[in-house]
A and B are shown apart, each in its own frame.
Chain A
């Protein structure tokens, strides 16, 4: 197990390094931030001074080297716009995004698995078919449009839920969270559903496919032949088997939930990392873009590692064992 983790960590370092090259190069190609940053009426002398101040006069290789040295020290540069360390800027907005992502993940699991299993157990019933049709809609409707429709319906027409923002938050373990107050919940509900919609459809499909496969296995028939209750057959024998693919996929997808909360955050004006990155791209705030992408890569790596370990907990056949002495 420990050998496995050490090897994985070494691989991760290489992945992060390659990613830094790609990100740095890519952002450099997008455009020159100076045009965005400087007053159009400034004279050439001011412009040159600004370029020098930001270090943009140096060749790209030197800029990259400088970035790399600082990154190893934990400094991912300072925002051109806010003049604050990019890392702090992002981390300050991370709890909001994480809360939204966890809320979405929670919804996908508690709704997706039961709905998917129901559809798998009753594939020809009206309810089963409706669930599957619904999941196709969840897959194919564009997230931003659904978000806007939510706002239209619940905030404008019915006026029961707020249209955006985060509202007031409660302090919990030193973090500002929404889910502990009714008011906060009313703010997070729509964005969470909006963000969950795609994952929810995915979980429904996975659970249904898993259920249909598992239900015909001999071990289910054998379990029934033992005379145990149908409830236990479904909730223990079937559920534990379909959890393996669901956990794997959800774990891997969790990174993308965080990364692509961008759209939902923009639509609902949710003050998270996604909203920050969109603004930074607009203004070509290179250090923030680079720092954001590096953080996302790092999160993906951590999540993958956690999924691998979780997977071995769920499936005894792949359980990683230390070699016995």
Chain B
């Protein structure tokens, strides 16, 4: 693995929203890498900047937001500098995205075949018939029964889980190097969620594509991701191998997140909570953004901490007072 160019290397990414009320620093200096075939979980609460990070990668941040700084190195090419034509030729072909709400990601007035065939033909000059075969094969791949019939249906004739499968099939059409999945199972039933997770894991293994899985649900990434980045208020506060981070969290925020997942082991005990709520991005606390909610906060937290050097350990944290004693 050493020396190989990673599929994606994000360095110091900053995406700000220039609103009338001020500048919202939604993504504020995020760095991480995704190697070939690797699944990286991007975890955080609502408003932590995880979705904006995902949209920044494919150049689809809604105005008034824009990427103001940093590098997005996709197989060595800096996408932060790429023009719109280049981005469009990469979107859907080399980098695909799946969204949170399967009810909303398919255009309600267009048939599935229209929506899949246009995705094929956006990047390849092939006949409609060939494109249809590709679309059909993609539906088979994600486990949709009688694909020929389903291609002629409209989105409202599908269940939520089936729609998400269609979205995944659409993302797979060009066998991309990287898929960005923005909470794709959040809106689904638990049983369907399990099926989709299983399907995605299988597809990653089979095709060797990389995956960024954005979620607020630690239990989802626990079984799926190789590595995990925990985001808080636009910054990555902790990252490392999934086992390292979940078994011995260093940042009090990660610890709090793990504590708020209900578990059979702690039956009967009150569920741990993180007090307070995520700060407004327009008005972040001084120093570490988490300190007003942090049980371990002290005077030193008023100075912004740097993330620990990766040289020391793959398990990095951005905290002056991490949970070292437990690890």
Within the complex, which residue of B91, B99, B109, B167 is in contact with A241, where a contact is CB–CB below 8 Å?
B109
A213-240 interface with B by 8 A CB criterion: 216-230, 232, 236-237, 240
B160 to chain A: which residues have CB within 8 Å? none
Contact A228 B62 (CB under 8 A): no
Bound-state CA distance A229–B58 (Å) is: 15
- Between B92, B97, B107, B110, the greatest number of chain A beta carbons within 10 A of the residue's beta carbon is seen for B107
In this complex, the interface size class of chain B, counting residues with CB under 8 Å from chain A, is: 20 to 34
B178 to nearest A CB, angstroms?
12
Within the complex, which residue of B100, B104, B110 is in contact with A217, where a contact is CB–CB below 8 Å?
B104
Task: Please encode chain A, from 62 to 85, with 1 for each CB lying within 8 Å of some chain B CB and 0 for all others.
Answer: 000000000000000000000000
Task: Please encode chain B, from 96 to 115, with 1 for each CB lying within 8 Å of some chain A CB and 0 for all others.
Answer: 11011100111111110001
Contact A228 B99 (CB under 8 A): no
Given contacts A316-B156, A317-B154, contact A227 B122 (CB under 8 A): yes
Contact A227 B104 (CB under 8 A): no
* A244 contacts B by Cβ under 8 Å: yes
* B235 contacts A by Cβ under 8 Å: no
Task: Please encode chain B, from 167 to 200, with 1 for each CB lying within 8 Å of some chain A CB and 0 for all others.
Answer: 1001000000000000000000000000000000
B60 to chain A: which residues have CB within 8 Å? 221, 224-225
Given contacts A221-B60, A232-B118, contact A227 B107 (CB under 8 A): no
Bound-state CA distance A219–B114 (Å) is: 13
Contact B118 A228 (CB under 8 A): yes
Contact A226 B99 (CB under 8 A): no
Within the complex, which residue of B89, B96, B110, B154 is in contact with A237, where a contact is CB–CB below 8 Å?
B110
* B75 contacts A by Cβ under 8 Å: no
Given contacts A227-B93, A229-B88, contact A316 B109 (CB under 8 A): yes
A230 to chain B: which residues have CB within 8 Å? 88
User: Nearest CB to that of A219 among chain B residues?
Assistant: B107
Given contacts A224-B60, A232-B118, contact A219 B93 (CB under 8 A): no
B115 to chain A: which residues have CB within 8 Å? 223
B122 to chain A: which residues have CB within 8 Å? 226-229, 232
User: Nearest CB to that of A239 among chain B residues?
Assistant: B109
Given contacts A228-B119, A316-B154, contact A222 B88 (CB under 8 A): no
* B90 contacts A by Cβ under 8 Å: yes
Task: Please encode chain A, from 303 to 325, with 1 for each CB lying within 8 Å of some chain B CB and 0 for all others.
Answer: 00000000000111100000000
A223 to chain B: which residues have CB within 8 Å? 107, 115
Within the complex, which residue of B89, B92, B93, B99 is in contact with A221, where a contact is CB–CB below 8 Å?
B99
A123 to nearest B CB, angstroms?
11
Task: Please encode chain A, from 99 to 142, with 1 for each CB lying within 8 Å of some chain B CB and 0 for all others.
Answer: 00000000000000000000000000000000000000000000
A130-178 interface with B by 8 A CB criterion: none
Bound-state CA distance A216–B63 (Å) is: 11
Bound-state CA distance A200–B317 (Å) is: 60
Within the complex, which residue of B89, B91, B167, B170 is in contact with A224, where a contact is CB–CB below 8 Å?
B91
B92 to chain A: which residues have CB within 8 Å? 225-228
B241 to nearest A CB, angstroms?
29
Bound-state CA distance A225–B87 (Å) is: 10
- Between A221, A229, A317, the greatest number of chain B beta carbons within 10 A of the residue's beta carbon is seen for A221
Bound-state CA distance A156–B117 (Å) is: 57
B296 to chain A: which residues have CB within 8 Å? none
Bound-state CA distance A221–B123 (Å) is: 17
Within the complex, which residue of A216, A225, A240, A244 is in contact with B110, where a contact is CB–CB below 8 Å?
A240
Contact A241 B105 (CB under 8 A): no
A222 to chain B: which residues have CB within 8 Å? 97, 99, 105-106, 167, 170
User: Nearest CB to that of B103 among chain A residues?
Assistant: A218
Within the complex, which residue of A216, A219, A225 is in contact with B62, where a contact is CB–CB below 8 Å?
A216
Bound-state CA distance A317–B107 (Å) is: 12
Contact A227 B109 (CB under 8 A): no
Within the complex, which residue of B93, B99, B110, B119 is in contact with A236, where a contact is CB–CB below 8 Å?
B110
B58 to chain A: which residues have CB within 8 Å? 225
- Between B90, B109, B156, the greatest number of chain A beta carbons within 10 A of the residue's beta carbon is seen for B109
Bound-state CA distance A277–B166 (Å) is: 58
Bound-state CA distance A223–B109 (Å) is: 13
Bound-state CA distance A33–B60 (Å) is: 71
User: Nearest CB to that of B104 among chain A residues?
Assistant: A218
Bound-state CA distance A237–B110 (Å) is: 8
A215 to nearest B CB, angstroms?
9
Bound-state CA distance A308–B297 (Å) is: 64
User: Nearest CB to that of B87 among chain A residues?
Assistant: A227
- Between A222, A228, A244, the greatest number of chain B beta carbons within 10 A of the residue's beta carbon is seen for A222
Starting from the known contacts A236-B110, A315-B109, 9 additional A-B residue pairs (CB-CB under 8 Å) come to A217-B104, A218-B101, A225-B91, A225-B92, A226-B96, A227-B89, A232-B122, A244-B109, A316-B109
**A interface vs B, CB < 8 Å?**
216-230, 232, 236-237, 240-241, 244, 314-317
A–B complex contacts, Cβ < 8 Å, 14 sampled: A216-B62, A218-B104, A219-B104, A219-B105, A219-B107, A224-B60, A226-B96, A227-B88, A227-B90, A228-B118, A236-B110, A241-B107, A315-B109, A317-B154
Q: Shortest 8 CB-CB distances between A and B: which pairs?
A: A227-B92, A218-B104, A227-B91, A226-B92, A226-B119, A316-B154, A228-B122, A225-B97
